[in-house]
Amino acid sequence: MEKRVTFSKWTIGILFAVPQLILIFTFFYWPAGQAVYWSLTLQQPWGGGNIWVGLDNFRSILSNASYWDSITASMIFAGISTGLAMTIALVLAALTDRQLAGSWLYRVVLIWPYGIAAPALALAFRFILAPEAGFMAVVNQVWPGFWDPGLDGTDAMASIIIAFSWKYVGYNFIFFLAAFQAIPRSLIEAAAMDGSGVIRRFWDIQFPLITPTIFFLLVINITESFQDSFGIVDIMTAGGPANATNLMVYKIYSDGFKGLDYSGAAAQSIILMLLIIALTIVQFRFIERRVHYR
Amino acid sequence: MTIIKRGFAALAAGALSTALAIPAFAEPVKFDFWFGLSGDLARVVDTLCKNFNDSQKDYQVVCTSQGNYDATLQNTIAAFRAGKQPTVVQVYDVGTATMMLSGAYKPADKLMEENGYKIDYSDYFPGIARYYATSKGEMLSFPFNSSTALMYWNKDAFAKIGKTEAPKTWEDVAADLKALKDAGYDCPMAINISANESWQLMEQFSALHNQPIATKNNGYDGLDARLEVNKTKFVQYVTDLKKWYDAGLVKIKSKDLGQDMVQAFATGTCQLILTSVGDHGTVGRTQKEGMKWDVAELPVYAGTERKNSLVGGASLWVLSGKSDAEYKGAAAFLNFIHDPKTALFWSTNTGYIPVTKSGFDFMKSDGFYDKAPYKGREVAIASLTASEPTEITRGIRLGNFTQIRAEFGTQMQAIFANKVSVQEGLDALVKNGDAILERFQQTYPGKTLP
């Protein structure tokens, strides 16, 4: 007779889930609910009281031109840094997977950047990219005025994209390498015997087989570029010059904590949440179709 | 089971005995003081706290640095909402309006009166007292660390162009910068244009020229005040700065670019900067060996009747919701800080100026300002007391002023990057700043500034 472990009552199942549910409720639903409530009121920072204003906060934010600039900046940042971080990581992982000389070293070293806290790496990049003191000072000597993140918004945006991508190359690399190594050697060897070159094998065999990983990383990278960029922006540019790098997540911080506009910041974080949800839905709806799960 | 029972009994007994023991020991009353200074300055505050704790045995102040002014205010608000606020907190100058409307404080003058301390409020320099006082002149907080902006000039460089005195007008500055450039100096003057420099470039400039920053006497007369810096002499000033920048007479120096302007001055790279008297010590400690430099009052445009400059820094607020014993301690602490001897200790170890006339006189009679490293700091007092404060030069009382400063940085950067003209930039500053003020007003419906 087959023995099966079943729960006679659904309550036992619930009981097992309760600790997890409590955690999710305390650290996600409750604060998120609070944020929704705050976004519909005008909160006095010291807790002296609040007024119900309905959707006024959203209206005033969405009618503010600088908020739309912030959304644009976030989109540009997300697009370029995700593309950069994923492409570089993909190339590096593909090369490492080919067992080139010294690949054991890259395998270890390339993972490190992800282990560095954003503010620490931002400090390092602030120095490297400083136009008067760092590495870029040399470039500026050759072409005076070429690099000026203090006044040129494009340069400042480039700085934070470089710093962020550098960090996520390490993260993406781990996943890509694992995906490459999960591909049966025999497939690649068979293709090689049939006479296909490295590039051909990559596009026809490896790339289609790692699409699930690419899709996963795409979702994660885009989501993280909206959220994890805070530390880098705060240290490197503080949103400047002239709001060129005032990403949505940084604007939430500066309006909420520096400006003590808790309601406006709450409304902005709701918008950011909806935007990330929407982006993720779009990705699942349209890009996942091209993903081949094995 | 018995073990658990016994355990409870022991716990209860223990709790009882500690409860009984407290009055017997007469432990000093502890209270918290949160402040926003860090590094060297935080160590000086720690010493100050230790001095207070050693000076008597009834109270013990626990001093905690929160890193910077912004964080101090944010953390205090968070703590207040959770009912765990410190008794005394240091709040920066521009947080004054926010504090006044918070309803979260105990007025400092009442606190002192209730606890039997007599403080002569007329002893405070008027420029300092009025910045923090209500429109009726009551002191809701105690001025603590105070500074004002000064012009630092390199005597060696100016000697090269035949000048032995600092320029007094912006017209002279323009001529001197040109001469310095011609004499081969690559960076005659350094400025920075982030949010922080709103203080010396916009706020101090406006006060010296008796120009308003906002209507309603810079906000003292109501929450419906709105900015008006786009139609004052400030427009001319920004236009000139931009012109000098384009001509290479003024350079932008900031930490992000490699060197901030204080370092640029101390190393002799730049010959003129405008910054706080609080940097006097830093320049002295880090300057290039043998470099001769001095400080002077900020220049004004020719034909201007010079007014007092504004005080910068922070004041000490006593928060509500604390016990009487803690308030007694807080009052004793504030009284200790008010003492001229503490003023001497404080100013010697920091670059801050004394806030009372008696403190200043005490330091003068002590010969403080004759000694080499401190000589020159008396210029700050001269600048602060250049005139009786007018309705406009007593200070700025605008809500969420931190955000307006941020907007200042944003628009200045846009102007200097040639994205907008000077007038367009300042118009945008006023427009966006007004939105911030309007929002502040809406958050406190029906309330008025005390």
Does any CB of chain B come closer than 8 Å to the CB of residue A60?
yes
Band (B130; pLDDT cuts 50, 70, 90): confident
Is residue A147 assigned to a domain? yes
Of A130, A152, A236, Cβ closest to residue B417: A152
Is residue A97 assigned to a domain? yes
Q: Indicate if the pLDDT at residue B6 is higher than 60.
A: no
Domain interval for residue B438: 149-309+399-443
Provide, rounded to the nearest whole percent, the portion of chain B with pLDDT above 70: 94
Of A66, A238, A242, Cβ closest to residue B419: A242
Domain interval for residue A208: 63-290
- DSSP string for B367-385: TGGGSGGGTTTHHHHHHHT
Residue of A nearest to B81 (CA): A47
Instruction: Give the mutation candidate from A58, A258, A262, A263 for the B interface (greatest B CB count, under 10 A).
Output: A258
Amino acid B257: pLDDT: 81
Judge if B276 and B286 occupy the same domain: yes
Q: Indicate if the pLDDT at residue B2 is higher than 60.
A: no
Total tally of structural domains belonging to chain B: 2
Average pLDDT over residues B3-21: 48
Does any CB of chain A come closer than 8 Å to the CB of residue B191?
no
Judge if B187 and B292 occupy the same domain: yes
The answer to which of A9-13, A193-197, A279-283 has the lowest mean pLDDT is: A9-13
**Between chains, do A46 and B444 touch, taking CB under 8 Å as contact?**
no
Does any CB of chain A come closer than 8 Å to the CB of residue B400?
yes
Judge if B293 and B318 occupy the same domain: no
Amino acid B112: pLDDT: 93
Does any CB of chain B come closer than 8 Å to the CB of residue A46?
yes
Judge if B358 and B252 occupy the same domain: no
Least Cα distance to B273 among B296, B248, B247, B257 occurs for: B296
**Between chains, do B102 and A46 touch, taking CB under 8 Å as contact?**
yes
Is residue B13 assigned to a domain? no
- DSSP string for B284-344: HHHSPTT--EEEEPPPB-TT----PPPPEEEEEEEESS--HHHHHHHHHHHHHHHSHHHHH
Q: Report the first-to-last Cα separation within chain B, whole angstroms.
A: 62
* Residues listed for chain B: 450
Mean of all residue pLDDT scores within chain B: 90
Q: How far is A83 from chain B (nearest CA, A)?
A: 26
Q: What is the ipTM of this complex?
A: 0.83
* Residues listed for chain A: 294
**Between chains, do A137 and B400 touch, taking CB under 8 Å as contact?**
no
Q: How far is A174 from chain B (nearest CA, A)?
A: 32
Query: In CATH, what number is assigned to the domain containing residue A140?
Result: 1.10.3720.10
Is residue B225 assigned to a domain? yes
The answer to which of A198-207, B237-246, B299-308 has the lowest mean pLDDT is: A198-207
Least Cα distance to B333 among B37, B52, B103 occurs for: B52
Contacts of residue B131, Cβ cutoff 8 Å, sequence gap at least 6: B93, B96, B143, B310, B311, B394, B395
Q: Indicate if the pLDDT at residue A219 is higher than 50.
A: yes
Tokens of A204: 């026809």
Amino acid B16: pLDDT: 45
Is residue B16 assigned to a domain? no
Using N-to-C axis directions, what is the helix angle for B422-443 and B233-246, rounded to 10°? 130
Of B103, B258, B413, Cβ closest to residue A48: B103
Instruction: Give the mutation candidate from B256, B424, B436, B441 for the A interface (greatest A CB count, under 10 A).
Output: B256
Contacts of B443 in chain A (CB under 8 A): 42-45, 261, 263
Taking the C-alpha atoms of residue B442 and residue B433, their distance in angstroms, rounded to an integer, is 14
Amino acid B25: pLDDT: 55
SS3 B215: helix
**Between chains, do A260 and B77 touch, taking CB under 8 Å as contact?**
yes
Provide, rounded to the nearest whole percent, the portion of chain A with pLDDT above 90: 51
Is residue A3 assigned to a domain? no
Average pLDDT over residues A21-38: 92
Is residue A40 assigned to a domain? no
Amino acid A10: pLDDT: 81
Contacts of B256 in chain A (CB under 8 A): 126, 130, 149-150, 236-237
Is residue A184 assigned to a domain? yes
Average pLDDT over residues B52-70: 93
| Residues B395-421 as b or e (16 or more Cβ within 10 Å = b) | bbbbbbbbbbbbbbbbbbbbbbbebbe
* Higher per-residue confidence, A121 vs A1: A121
Tokens of B252: 């932008």
Taking the C-alpha atoms of residue A271 and residue A263, their distance in angstroms, rounded to an integer, is 12
Give the count of Cβ contacts less than 8 A between chain A and B. 98
Contacts of B413 in chain A (CB under 8 A): 151, 240-242
Band (B18; pLDDT cuts 50, 70, 90): very low
> C-alpha A155: how far from its chain's center?
20
Does any CB of chain B come closer than 8 Å to the CB of residue A72?
no
Q: Indicate if the pLDDT at residue A211 is higher than 70.
A: yes
Write out pLDDT tens, residues B386-396: 999 999 999 99
Contacts of B445 in chain A (CB under 8 A): 51
Does any CB of chain B come closer than 8 Å to the CB of residue A133?
yes
Of A45, A131, A254, Cβ closest to residue B257: A131
Write out pLDDT tens, residues A124-158: 998 888 888 778 888 888 888 788 888 899 999 99
Is residue A179 assigned to a domain? yes
Amino acid B435: pLDDT: 92
Average pLDDT over residues B15-40: 71
User: What one-letter code names the amino acid at A182?
Assistant: A
Judge if B105 and B191 occupy the same domain: no
Is residue B425 assigned to a domain? yes
Taking the C-alpha atoms of residue B350 and residue B344, their distance in angstroms, rounded to an integer, is 10
Total tally of structural domains belonging to chain A: 1
Using N-to-C axis directions, what is the helix angle for A262-282 and A30-39, rounded to 10°? 120
Taking the C-alpha atoms of residue B368 and residue B377, their distance in angstroms, rounded to an integer, is 10
Does any CB of chain B come closer than 8 Å to the CB of residue A154?
no
Residues in a beta bridge with B295: B152
Judge if B68 and B125 occupy the same domain: yes
Average pLDDT over residues A61-89: 94
Q: How far is A44 from chain B (nearest CA, A)?
A: 6
Amino acid B1: pLDDT: 42
Of A133, A148, A258, Cβ closest to residue B259: A133
Q: How far is B249 from chain A (nearest CA, A)?
A: 16
Judge if B403 and B274 occupy the same domain: yes
Mean of all residue pLDDT scores within chain A: 89
Amino acid A1: pLDDT: 54
Average pLDDT over residues A13-37: 91
User: What one-letter code names the amino acid at B433?
Assistant: G
Average pLDDT over residues B29-33: 94
Of A46, A48, A254, Cβ closest to residue B406: A254
Residues A110, A96 contacting (CB under 8 angstroms)? yes
Of B98, B413, B436, Cβ closest to residue A151: B413
Contacts of B251 in chain A (CB under 8 A): none
Query: In CATH, what number is assigned to the domain containing residue B244?
Result: 3.40.190.10
Contacts of A236 in chain B (CB under 8 A): 256
Amino acid A294: pLDDT: 61
Amino acid A140: pLDDT: 85
**Between chains, do B439 and A60 touch, taking CB under 8 Å as contact?**
yes
Cis amide linkage into residue A241, ω under 30° from 0: yes
Band (B380; pLDDT cuts 50, 70, 90): very high
Domain ends where: B357, B374, B391?
B374
Instruction: Give the mutation candidate from B413, B415, B434 for the A interface (greatest A CB count, under 10 A).
Output: B413
Judge if B167 and B288 occupy the same domain: yes
Beta strands in A39-191 (DSSP E): 41-43, 50-52
Q: Indicate if the pLDDT at residue A82 is higher than 70.
A: yes
Q: Indicate if the pLDDT at residue B272 is higher than 80.
A: yes
